[in-house]
Structure 1
Amino acid sequence: MLTALQLNASASDGGAARAAVRVHEGLSLEGPVFGWTSRFQAASGPASGLGVCVGSPLQRSAIWRRLHPRLTQWRKRHWRTNNPALHSLAWPDTGLGAELTEAHSHGDFELLNLHWLGDSTLSIEEIGRLPCPVLWTLHDQWPFSGAEHYAPLPGSGSDLAALERFTSGYEQETSPVLERRCDLNRWTWQRKQRSWRQPMTLICPSQWMADCVQRSALMSGWPCHVIPNPLNLEQWKPVEPLLARRLLDLPLEAPLVLFGAMGGTADPRKGSDLLERALVSLAARSEGQPKQPHLVIFGQERSALQQSFGLQVHCLGHLHDAVSLRLAYSAADVMVVPSRLDNLPNTATEAMACGTPVVAFRTGGLPEIVNDGISGRLADPFEPEDLAQCIASVVFQPEKQRALEQQARQQAENRWHPKRIAALYASAYDEALERSA
């Protein structure tokens, strides 16, 4: 039996951590049929689950753990940017690279599967020195970008080529005015170019991400597989809607529109401002309807949207466990994912596994989740009026809604079953081992 080590910055925090743990759990359960099993290692978070190990490198002292983030902040001291996305320098070395090299030499694992690393898991240079076969599951654009985890969001009249600097290798002439004094994106990208001489095998959860890879100056032509994230369909399955509403103290009769995101309405990439405008339009469309829709939000304690439109709002706060999330999805008539830019958001796949139709913009990896008119609706990017129309077409047409619910669950079973995903990962692992031999 061969072992793949999954490496992620956290064992629990963030969508990438949840997706990485699901890959690990799916391989642990279904992988042995294909000759593979899995271990999971993270720098932080609770070590819950079989084969999950959490902790800093053994040789990393308490002093160095405190000093490392301060060095990162010192390196960013002159840096300014208009891009609100997270930026990671992955500098300097953490010591984990040497520990992984030793573990591989002792036969602890045959292959390393990187996930989301952030600033303090491995440095760029440590990744380049790893002697073992390496695959990388891309949960965002950081691996082929500079320091930014997502390219800047396009605005009216923006030049996409200037925003997507990863396509041209972060040339100086594409540097935004605010970053010209200290272009950390260019510095970070150049370190990747120098350090990553051998192509790694890439796993993209969406075809959209794979297309970005092929347009990138750094990783174009590298081996690449499109494999979505798995879902435990016994854990994520429908709950009787009235029961779910009673348990969450939500209205029993009103149509419920659900929205959720880490940080709630704070992240512009998640499109809460577009949702706000769409809901104003939805409220107007609701006049004359026998039942007025309500908005349900999870991911924050109090909604910044409450005074912005004519719908009643219910805030569920931060839902950290699968049971609460499953109840929220099952209680809703529709899940809205108004992202401007997203890879394969967990909220959309989880909702569909719970039999809840998803409404989203036709952008990023979302068209690979939602079959328009079959398992949900896709609106034109980024048109709030069209988004409102798509929401209305679900919540005000009960027969159509029931058909969408059935197809949403069926699609989850067909596309994201752990056994199917484990088989695809095992095939990619076999290929990577053959290439490294």
Structure 2
Amino acid sequence: MRTVIINTFDIQGGAARAANRLHNALKSNAVESSMVVMSKKSSDPSVMEIGGYTPNEKIDYQYILRKLVQRYYIDSSRTDLSNTLFSFAYPGRDISSIPRLQSADLINLHWVGFFQTPVTIQKLMKLGKPMVWTLHDMCPFTGGCHYSAGCDGYTRDCRNCPQLSNDPYSLPNAILKDKLELFEGFPLTIASPSRWLADCARKSALFRNCRIEVIPNSIETDIYTPISKDDAKAALEIDPKNIVLMFGADSGNEKRKGFAELEAALARARTNPLFEDIVRRKGITILSLGPLTADMSKLGMDIKELGHVSDDTLIARAYSAADIFILPSLEDNLPNMMLESMACGTPVLAFRSGGIPDVVQDGVNGRLVPTGDVNALAERLVELVSDKALRERLGAESAKFVHGAYTPKIQADRYLALFEELRCSSDYKTWSAKTNSENRSDADGLDMECGPSFNAIRYKVMLAALLRAIPEICQAFASKMPDQNMEGICRLENEIDVLKNSLSWRLTAPLRKMLKAVRRES
């Protein structure tokens, strides 16, 4: 079987790592798997890089569209509800003519933000091949948000988006309508790594009539495996006697990752005499994968920040060095870090959110507390810190569970069984033939290759974005002006301020108002 996995990146980020793991697992199962990506960092010859939009290409206008709308229409209007990525769906790269896609038996979409659009995905559907879309967040079935932060607008029409404060043209609604129209009738199959995300997809306006399967991600259990905690700590220059608390994220400032709640829980834990005594004796080390927030360094604890690490062996050693992995996510799918930590025999303490309860069983192989309950998180942390036997029991069960259910072989077998079943269906060719003959909802004739709903508001959205960009453009222009010109502008501004504060200006105010009224009437 020839399969093509499509993802924006090959190994950068959690979704790319998950997609790449599936790609390698399929290859190990004698599947002729390849990846098509926008940006490639690996040296894997089975990964094909397409490239993205850059200002130097002939499609500068599309590049400008994306940057303008993303930065000034979306990013500049974000509310305090969430700061997780909210991405603009256009433009994209049409990859439907690539020979390996033309000859594929099945297409497997993954995280395709800034790479594929509703229009380019429809072009892939028109190839008449089975398609499985593996979800890594909520964006495939929303109008742009990658996590909804509790909003259920995606179950209806994505109007009045609570994540955008200034959206006069209802951009998310237009994007969702494009997806609904362009994908209509196609027998798309959804694969979700977690039951939580699968449930969200079933409720969504876009995927509620699709076949939805839950197939968890896998990890390399030959790499992520328990080793001596003392040896792992020593290798990282950590005192083996210390209790190591580990956590991590690509961005510690992303609200849904729960770092603010984690900081509050650590501060709360320090009110416990036993915990505080260990902290004062420098007996607790915080180990971080990825950047820490500024406030985390103010907690007065010993911190070892590893930053961004790409070496799986070093990451696995870090997990083994940890005594407790804290996962304070408020919304998440099936975090790679959770699986990796547990595979290394380190129990996870987490909020009961997203797909985390699929793997972490409270009191069996980890600890779960109600989402956002800082006091409960602190209490369980103190419990684990003070009970080595409990940590070791939960850690042993963690490794046993993950090594028994989340191996690459198990994941590949489940995907391959699904792929083989879908390959026998003729529904895809029937839909393709019908859609191509009717040219229904096709966007080929549209300038910029935007979907019909966005195309109807495109110029309004671009104009709104441009108007919002003007102050920043002017400021940037002014910053590049010669110093003498800036001095002249400052003098002029001062003279205007003096004039407006003068007695003559105040006395002539009624006359100016009268002149304005006369002009309006004439």
Global fold match (TM > 0.5):
yes
Alignment partner of 1:136 out of 133, 141, 144: 133
Report the 3-state secondary structure (helix = DSSP H, G, I; strand = E; otherwise coil) of the residue aligned with 1:305.
helix
**Residue 105 of structure 2 is aligned to residue 118 of structure 1:** no
**8 Å Cα contact 1:283-1:310 kept in structure 2:** no
Match of 2:256, as an amino acid? R
Q: Unmatched 5+ residue regions in structure 1?
A: 155-162
| Percent identical | 29
Query: 2-side partners of 1:246 and 1:53: how far apart?
Result: 40
Query: 2-side partners of 1:388 and 1:93: how far apart?
Result: 45
**Residue 379 of structure 2 is aligned to residue 389 of structure 1:** yes
**8 Å Cα contact 2:5-2:108 kept in structure 1:** yes
The alpha-carbon deviation at position 164 of structure 1 amounts to: 2.0
Give the greater-gyration-radius structure (CA).
2
The alpha-carbon deviation at position 87 of structure 1 amounts to: 2.0
**8 Å Cα contact 2:194-2:216 kept in structure 1:** yes
Match of 1:47, as an amino acid? S
Distance of aligned partners of 1:240 and 1:432 in 2 relative to their CA distance in 1, 3 Å threshold: same
Query: 2-side partners of 1:319 and 1:91: how far apart?
Result: 31
Distance of aligned partners of 1:401 and 1:221 in 2 relative to their CA distance in 1, 3 Å threshold: same
Report the 3-state secondary structure (helix = DSSP H, G, I; strand = E; otherwise coil) of the residue aligned with 1:189.
helix
- Structure 2 matches for 1:152-163, cutoff 5 A? 153-154=149-150, 163=151
Partner of 1:53: 48
Alignment partner of 1:300 out of 279, 287, 291: 291
Cα-to-partner distance string for 1:210-250 (whole Å, 9 max, x where unaligned) = 00011111110201110000111101112221221122122
**8 Å Cα contact 2:360-2:366 kept in structure 1:** yes
Report the 3-state secondary structure (helix = DSSP H, G, I; strand = E; otherwise coil) of the residue aligned with 1:284.
coil
- Structure 2 matches for 1:27-426, cutoff 5 A? 27-29=26-28, 31-32=29-30, 36-49=31-44, 51-56=46-51, 63-64=57-58, 67-76=61-70, 77-79=72-74, 80-82=77-79, 83-99=82-98, 102-105=99-102, 107=103, 109-119=104-114, 121-130=115-124, 131=127, 132-151=129-148, 153-154=149-150, 163-171=151-159, 178-197=165-184, 198-263=186-251, 265-285=252-272, 286-288=275-277, 292-300=283-291, 303-307=294-298, 309-426=299-416
Cα-to-partner distance string for 1:2-39 (whole Å, 9 max, x where unaligned) = 1111111001211000000001011111x23xxx3311
**8 Å Cα contact 2:233-2:240 kept in structure 1:** yes
Cα-to-partner distance string for 1:403-436 (whole Å, 9 max, x where unaligned) = 1111111111121011111111011112222334
Cα-to-partner distance string for 1:34-66 (whole Å, 9 max, x where unaligned) = xx3311221112233352222338x99951465
**8 Å Cα contact 2:330-2:372 kept in structure 1:** yes
**8 Å Cα contact 2:253-2:293 kept in structure 1:** no
**8 Å Cα contact 2:40-2:47 kept in structure 1:** no
Report the 3-state secondary structure (helix = DSSP H, G, I; strand = E; otherwise coil) of the residue aligned with 2:210.
coil
Distance of aligned partners of 1:318 and 1:304 in 2 relative to their CA distance in 1, 3 Å threshold: farther
Distance of aligned partners of 1:244 and 1:284 in 2 relative to their CA distance in 1, 3 Å threshold: same
> Could you say what the CA RMSD is over the residues aligned between the two structures, in angstroms?
2.3
**8 Å Cα contact 1:297-1:314 kept in structure 2:** yes
Count of paired positions: 414
Query: 1-side partners of 2:236 and 2:48: how far apart?
Result: 34
Cα-to-partner distance string for 1:319-362 (whole Å, 9 max, x where unaligned) = 12112211110100010110010000111100011111001000
Match of 2:262, as an amino acid? L
> Greater CA deviation, 140-149 or 249-258?
249-258
Match of 1:360, as an amino acid? A
**8 Å Cα contact 1:302-1:315 kept in structure 2:** no
**8 Å Cα contact 2:4-2:100 kept in structure 1:** no
**8 Å Cα contact 1:280-1:310 kept in structure 2:** no
Distance of aligned partners of 1:432 and 1:258 in 2 relative to their CA distance in 1, 3 Å threshold: same
Query: 2-side partners of 1:89 and 1:6: how far apart?
Result: 22
Structure having the larger proportion of residues in helix: 2
Query: 1-side partners of 2:139 and 2:213: how far apart?
Result: 17
Q: Unmatched 5+ residue regions in structure 2?
A: 428-522
Report the 3-state secondary structure (helix = DSSP H, G, I; strand = E; otherwise coil) of the residue aligned with 1:97.
coil
What TM-score comes out, normalization by structure 2 length? 0.75
Query: 1-side partners of 2:342 and 2:382: how far apart?
Result: 18
Distance of aligned partners of 1:177 and 1:85 in 2 relative to their CA distance in 1, 3 Å threshold: closer
